[in-house]
Amino acid sequence: MVRVELTQYSAAEGLEHFRLNMSGAVNATIAKATAMVSIVDNDTLADTPGVFVRDVVVDEKAGTASFVVMLGGPKGQTSNSTVTVDYATGDATATAGSDYTASSGTLTFAAGETVKTVVVDITDDATTEGLERFNLNLSNASGATILDGVGVAEIGANDASALSLPQLTVADLVVSEGDGYVDIVVRLSAPGQNVVTVVYTTAGVSAAGSGYDFENASGTLELCRWRDDQGGAR
């Protein structure tokens, strides 16, 4: 996992982006070398912001599916008042209890917040399966209007044995400008037979580094051979 510090900027900026790039992998191949990190602005106030939930695609071995719920969509809105919205998972072709763990609750956006995340546990079973889906449904918003209330999670099955050259991927993310930092998760497609290392570095797109929108980061990440997601021992 790579942590990148975010910088609060007082002017309204809209949606901005930076990348985390991977290269120089040892004992693995890189299947997805770049993560796009989108920063949702929190400087636009609205009396009644809109609520949106994003779709998500995960591998069965990922362990979790993270739904991003935003106020104002990609451009970002905040409220001077607290906003709440209920959420609950629902079956599609994936089934709660066997493919994922049912989850429900209430999200609370404090004044100035723009992004919340709902994390749902995914079951890594031994059954060979095709692509499966389940939903996250939003309801009962207070202080906001639900504009996109159904997020779809796609689970890709992966029941592989340990490999000499597993594939490395890094996921795109959406975060609020006010979050302070973002943790970018690097994953292996299957457990590796040997320790895997990979070089990472950040690069600005519309967001600027070096103290403007995020702090530049670079280094080498080590993923232990029996670990198939974030690096470190399990």
Taking a C-beta distance cutoff of 8 angstroms, is the pair 135, 150 a contact?
Answer: yes
pLDDT given for residue 22 in this prediction: 94
- Domains defined along the chain, listed by start: 2-223 (2.60.40.2030)
Determine the pLDDT at residue 178. Answer: 66
User: How much is the pLDDT for 11?
Assistant: 63
pTM of this prediction? Answer: 0.61
CB 208 within 8 A of CB 183: no
Query: What pLDDT does 206 receive?
Result: 84
Task: Give me the residue label for tokens 């980061």.
Answer: 217
Beta bridge partners, 170, equal 186
Q: What is the pLDDT along the chain (234 residues), one digit of tens a residue?
A: 788 888 766 666 667 888 999 999 999 899 889 998 988 776 677 889 989 898 887 877 778 999 989 888 666 788 889 999 999 999 999 999 999 999 999 999 998 888 899 999 998 776 666 678 999 999 999 999 998 899 989 887 555 567 888 888 888 888 777 666 787 878 887 778 888 999 999 999 988 887 778 889 999 998 764 444 444 322
C-alpha–C-alpha distance, residues 33 and 22, integer Å = 5
Distance CA 60, CA 65 (A): 9
Tokens in use for 18? 């930076």
Backbone angles phi, psi at 75, to 5 degrees: -75, -20
Please say whether the dihedral angle defined by the alpha carbons of residues 93, 95, 99 and 105, taken in this order, is positive or negative.
positive
Q: Indicate the residue type of 196.
A: V
Assigned token pair, 147: 């504009």
Torsion of CA 99, 106, 139, 134, to 10 degrees: -10
